[in-house]
Amino acid sequence: MTTLSRRRFAVGTLALGATSFSIRTARAAEFTYKFANNLPLTHPLNVRALEAANAIKTETGGRFDLQVFPSSQLGSDTDTLGQIRSGAVDFFTLSGLILSTFVPAASINGIGFAWNDYATVWKAMDGDLGAFIRGEIAKTGVIFALDKIWDNGFRHVTTSTKPINTPDDLVNLKIRVPASPLWTSMFKAFGAAPTTVNFNETYSALQSKVVDAEENPLAVIAAAKLYEVQSYCSLTNHMWDGFWLLANKANWDELPADIQAIVAKHLNAAGVSQRADIAASVAGLQADLTAKGLKFNTVETAAFRDKLKSAGFYAEWKVKYGAAAWAKLEAAVGGLG
């Protein structure tokens, strides 16, 4: 049995123009599947993904070959979301906030200034809230999410012009945001000027002053070298963001049950290990980025939450997500107003 269908052969041939970081060639593999993501090869997500690919190759006796394509090699986030839906890509790690353009509930974990710490995040995302979101993804019928969400981290605002200390500092700020209604809504509530830019174009947008600011976790700021085109990093912790490991359902269903179990086991374990990598790297990343010239400041977040409440942000999104989903969020983080 093989999954090298005519569609797969065509897609794979097109991919030869890009550099794939396959663990081994596909000649001996019965199943060759593609794992796409938007992060540099050095990011912990790719380090752990490659380890998982090795482990899967070994445990399946070479039957399953997972090819990892980092750095948006197979297309932008929006392009690759289309490919995972069609089956041209088999696995894709994507922020729930971007996935929300297809599955609206997927962005609920990104509600601004909702999370205080990782203990609360993992209890919720490995518990009722995560199960609810996975259920909504599965309802699409074309993709599903594996059990463990990977960590993208708490997000912070970087700027080329000034540090962000109060909500007023965001007024009229030209800030890059991903293609997600929640991001745009939140920064508009602060009076900023959010501009949608795909991640693979963010560095050039900052360099050319199309935007003056962006927001990302420290690991992404470091791996994408955004410190080269930004001067300040304000530790806002304004959102927690994770990567759902999405799989195309039809392609997954082609796998025998024993291989499904091995693939899921190693990819979920890799996600948990990657979480620990991100947590362990935060202090060192701040020191490294400071040495590279990025200036840090700590932000008091209460005023930002108050601003979102008075602007009607929480009330608006409670209606959009629905009372049941909002109750699961508030059960984890407390009342948001």
Taking phi over 0 as left and psi of -120 to 50 as alpha, with beta for the rest, 153 belongs to left
Residue 295 has pLDDT above 80, yes or no: yes
Helix, strand, coil share (%) of the chain residues, nearest 5: 50, 20, 30
Mean pLDDT of 128-140: 97
- pLDDT-above-90 percentage for the chain: 85
Domain 154-240+282-333, CATH class in plain words: alpha beta
Please give the Cα distance from 229 to 96 (Å, whole number).
27
**DSSP symbol at 12:** H
The per-residue pLDDT for 6 is 30
Partners of 209 in the beta sheet?
none
Residue 307: how many CA atoms within 13 Å on its side-chain side? 22
CATH of 6-151+242-281, one of 3.40.190.170, 3.20.20.70, 1.20.120.450, 3.40.430.10: 3.40.190.170
**What secondary structure, in 3-state letters, does 200-254 show?**
HHHHHHHHCCCCCEEEECHHHHHHCCHHHCCCEEEEEEEEEEEEEEEEEHHHHHC
Report which of 52, 246, 256 is spatially closest to residue 148, judged by C-alpha positions. 246
- pLDDT-above-70 percentage for the chain: 92
pLDDT digits 0-9 by tens, 162-214 = 999 999 999 999 999 988 889 999 999 999 999 999 888 999 999 999 999 99
pLDDT confidence tier of residue 21, bands split at 50, 70 and 90: very low
The per-residue pLDDT for 4 is 43
Please give the Cα distance from 306 to 337 (Å, whole number).
9
CA quadruple 21, 25, 28, 34: dihedral, nearest 10: 30
Please give the Cα distance from 231 to 124 (Å, whole number).
34
Position with higher pLDDT, 55 vs 219: 55
Q: Counting beta carbons within 10 angstroms of the beta carbon of residue 160, is it exposed (0 to 12), middle (13 to 18) or buried (19 or more)?
A: middle
The per-residue pLDDT for 148 is 98
Residue with token string 């005023």: 303
Residue 285 has pLDDT above 90, yes or no: yes
Residue 134 has pLDDT above 90, yes or no: yes
Residue 278 has pLDDT above 70, yes or no: yes
Question: Do 53 and 66 meet the contact criterion of CB atoms below 8 Å apart?
Answer: yes
Question: Do 156 and 215 meet the contact criterion of CB atoms below 8 Å apart?
Answer: yes
Mean pLDDT of 270-275: 98
Q: Which two tokens stand for residue 276?
A: 């620990």
Q: Counting beta carbons within 10 angstroms of the beta carbon of residue 195, is it exposed (0 to 12), middle (13 to 18) or buried (19 or more)?
A: middle
Least confident residue range of 15-24, 93-102, 190-199, 296-305: 15-24
Residue 240 has pLDDT above 90, yes or no: yes
Question: Do 278 and 219 meet the contact criterion of CB atoms below 8 Å apart?
Answer: yes
Residue 125 has pLDDT above 50, yes or no: yes
User: Residue 188: how many CB atoms within 10 A of its CB?
Assistant: 14
User: What is the average pLDDT value for the chain, to the nearest integer?
Assistant: 91
The per-residue pLDDT for 290 is 97
Question: Do 78 and 198 meet the contact criterion of CB atoms below 8 Å apart?
Answer: yes
The per-residue pLDDT for 27 is 55
Position with higher pLDDT, 70 vs 1: 70
Residue 49 has pLDDT above 60, yes or no: yes
Report which of 160, 91, 102 is spatially closest to residue 133, judged by C-alpha positions. 102
Residue 63 has pLDDT above 60, yes or no: yes
Question: Do 33 and 91 meet the contact criterion of CB atoms below 8 Å apart?
Answer: yes
The per-residue pLDDT for 179 is 84
Position with higher pLDDT, 8 vs 72: 72
The per-residue pLDDT for 28 is 74
Q: Counting beta carbons within 10 angstroms of the beta carbon of residue 168, is it exposed (0 to 12), middle (13 to 18) or buried (19 or more)?
A: exposed
| H or E, element range at 304 | helix 302-310
Give the three-class secondary structure for 197. coil
The per-residue pLDDT for 13 is 35
Q: What is the pTM of this model?
A: 0.84
Residue with token string 């620990």: 276
| Comma-separated ranges of CATH 3.40.190.170 domains in the chain | 6-151+242-281, 154-240+282-333
